[in-house]
Amino acid sequence: MTASKTRRSLGAIIWLGCAAVCGAVLTLAGVFLYLDPLTPQAETYRNVQLETPLRIYTRDGDLLAEFGERRLIPVTLDQVPQAFIDALLDTEDKRFYEHSGIDFISLTNDTLGLVRSLLVEGSLGPGASTITMQLARNVSFGLERTFIRKFKEMLLALKIERELSKDEILELYINIVPFGKRAYGAEAAARTYYGKPLMELDLAQLAMLAGIPQAPSSGNPINGPERAQRRRNVVLSRMYEQGSISHAAFREATEAPITARIYERAVETPAPHAAEWVRRQLIYTYPDLYTGGYEVSTTIDSKLQDAATNAVRRGLQDFDVRHGYRGAEAQLELPMEALEDGDNAKDIVAAAVDALRGYQPAGDLEAAVVLHVGEDEARLVIGDGSFVTLNLDSVKWARPFLDIDRRGPEPTSIAAVLQVGDVVRIAPNGEATEEGEVSWRLSQAPDIEGALVSVEPDTGRVLALVGSYDFYRNQFNHVLQAARQPGSGFKPFVYAAALANGVTPASVYMDAPLVFNDENLETEYRPDNNDNRYNGPTRLREALYRSINLVSMRVLLDVEAGPVINYVTNFGFDPSTFPRNTQLAIGGGTMAVTPMEMVTAYSVFANGGFLITPHVIETVRDRDGVKLYESTRPVVCRECELVAPEELPADEGLTPQGDTDLVADQQDIADLSDEHTPEEAAPETPAPAPRVIDARIAYLMDNMLKDVIKRGTGRKALALKRGDLAGKTGTTNDAADTWFNGYGADVATTVWVGFSNYEPLGRREFGSTTPLPIWIDYMQQALKGRPERNFPQPDGIVTLKVNAETGEAVLPGDPQGIFEYFLSEHAPHPPSANQQLRPRDEVKAVDLF
């Protein structure tokens, strides 16, 4: 009986066991059939596309900018220190190379923990996730904690293990796991927290990184330093227990302080305006621009970009010094008596440093708070907590600003300029004291704005672009977006139109008052010259290099506005805003052009008469290095058959005002990308740039513009000691815009300076005062090592002697004669040997009024 009961009980147990096994199998099969369609295919993990930011480089390989939320720098497994691999495996998955995606030992041990998390906390805890399961979660699933997601992870982990090798899984995990602070992957984390590659980190730093993935946001060493340090020590303890490190190494690493801080990726050549221009051209062509790993090579030259940035900043700061000190940016309430108390002083200094966090650097100027003002010097603190001393000499320039044309007296004491609590800007002098410390001087962030753009006139490649004093203060790109009056910088185009219509460099026009009666005006319009002086009969060449307004107006009246406007379109200008009155002659009235348009137009003189299209993007490549786009902008080819402007494709033209060639570039890039993705883009030979003006007129204008440098308003540029420099200053009537446009060798550069609100710069400010020194400062670097370039005299140009005062041809031996160039069809006839020249006061100058 007892034996019979025992057999029945055993049978029941076996039956129940079999039923349980069958039930489990059926349950697992049901779960598999339900979840399998909901999980990705493991094959996709072999081609995981890492979210890599857009990176923009100079032509010589320096990083210009990086765009994208995720900072990711892929590495191969052999580029990862073994200590980091040990830290990960010993902490996250010590049986990684033994299991098949699920560690059933850890799963069993942690089951109770999972259930407790569900019952007590109402959600799942971290559970026994292997590295493969974590990889599945990071790539394919969200971060919500549910049983369903956990089962999906397990199922997908099994699939991944069948598709990828262990090393491939580990490498992908190391590259994709989040480490906080927008860093994804261990290499990006190393550079984010320690500013150096993963291979250069010590054991304590590697263990710190290995502990972050458990809680990337709250457990990184910046947001949660104490938690991060505890986690680091847990990692080190696991490494010691597994025999990966010695006791001595364990002890040294656990005692190491936290050395992490945020290191933004070093931009080797800052050019934010140029980088933003690139971004805007690409954004509509590549929807995954910020995550697709694209690399853009630009035309920017790193050395010239740095030179341009420094030149603009120095020039605008010099302007600011000339016009006086506007006072402190802000005033902090700092109790003076507390500063004398050693203990309380520390709190005051800490409060000052904390307040400085709200003041971003302005260009190369540092924000500082004044802590003490004595008789001969003042003590200040800057954002990193270090102290700076200013003496009287370093603030003597700070005469009070009264208005744009007036300053107060020179300060005789520090207290006349600085007060305790002042938030001011300081700049290094670049000179070290006897103790080796850098000396400082008081400065201020300029209110004035400026822009510089430099191109190769034969190719249109943009070599340097500075859109404002400080991009982070004002992201408005004055090179592309600021349409301003060009002032006298427009005169060369009026004169070129005149030469094309029969006027010669020796033509004489009257420099005398003009009076216009207009029934729409309450009073007569009486234009004048900048110096309010009149020179009488004046040759065209002299009028240009002396920038005489009234002669330019008479030239326009002689040729008429219609032919001039038609002619200047050859230089790429959009004439829709151009006035059809005498303001056209001096670049005033309703005229509005950008610095990019001006440098494009001056490039026509610089290259001998061809119209180029400025561009900044050279190539675009995908994450695999496949070329998606390569610029095929027209280039000057003097030996090629000339291409007429109307033969160019529509998208090769200039976009009038604003973003020059932005629309064209977007279309070109889109077209080329569609044709050559994903294969390598086929190289194309750039088309020859169209000739838009007669080579002879280009030669004459080049020669006349060189006189602006040699004997006119651009004489300061003689400091560069070159014979191939040419250009023109530009100042509007109200001095709201000042320019210098010029070129030398194979570099054309335009500089603009003015206030964003169109306020006048002052009575003593001209194109030669601030823009020209900036141009010289930049061109000194840009022309270094470049040979002089002077075009040979083209056929159809003749050289004759003319009277320097009358402009009339003279006999070859006449001592009063000077040589002048003429178009052969417009050359004057020399007088016969017995013909007498008229004295200057009898010359009949072209004078329509």
Which residues carry out catalysis?
Answer: 92, 488
- CA 791 → CA 69, 701, 702, 741, distances in Å? 50, 12, 9, 19
Helix spans in 334-417 (H): 336-340, 342-356
Structure-token pair, residue 365: 């100027």
Q: What CA–CA distances, in Å, run from 221 to 186, 216, 231, 261?
A: 14, 10, 10, 8
271, 65 contact by CB (below 8 A)? yes
In whole angstroms, give the CA distance from residue 822 to residue 696.
9
> Taking CA 277 as the corner, what is the angle to CA 274 and CA 279, rounded to the nearest 5 degrees?
110
Residue where the block lists tokens 């190491």: 256
- Whether the Cβ atoms of residue 184 and residue 68 lie closer than 8 Å to each other: no
Alpha-carbon span 85 to 347, nearest angstrom: 44
Whether the bond between 678 and the residue before it is cis, its omega within 30 degrees of 0, is yes
Extract the tokens encoding 282: 């690409």
Name the residue among 66, 40, 64 with its Cα closest to residue 183.
Answer: 66
Sheet holding 63-67, edge to edge: 63-67, 54-57, 295-298, 617-621, 627-630
Question: Distance of CA 754 to CAs 279, 318, 732, 736, 769, Å?
Answer: 27, 14, 11, 6, 12
Exposed/middle/buried for residue 21 (C-beta within 10 Å: 0-12, 13-18, 19+)? exposed
3-state secondary structure 167-221: HHHHHHHHHHCECCCCEECHHHHHHHHHCCCHHHCCHHHHHHHHHHHHCCCCCCC
Please check whether residue 234 is in contact with residue 253, taking contact to mean a CB–CB distance below 8 angstroms: no
* CA distances in angstroms from 846 to 261, 475, 515, 552, 737, listed in the order given: 73, 48, 16, 12, 30
Residue 311 CA to chain centroid, in angstroms?
A: 15
Which position has the token pair 């409060």?
351
368: left (phi over 0), alpha (psi -120 to 50) or beta: beta
Helix (H, G, I), strand (E, B) or coil at 525: strand
CB distance 464 to 305 below 8 Å = yes
Q: Residue 103, Cβ neighbours under 10 Å: how many?
A: 23
Q: Hey, what's the torsion of the CAs at 64, 70, 71, 74, to 10 degrees?
A: -110
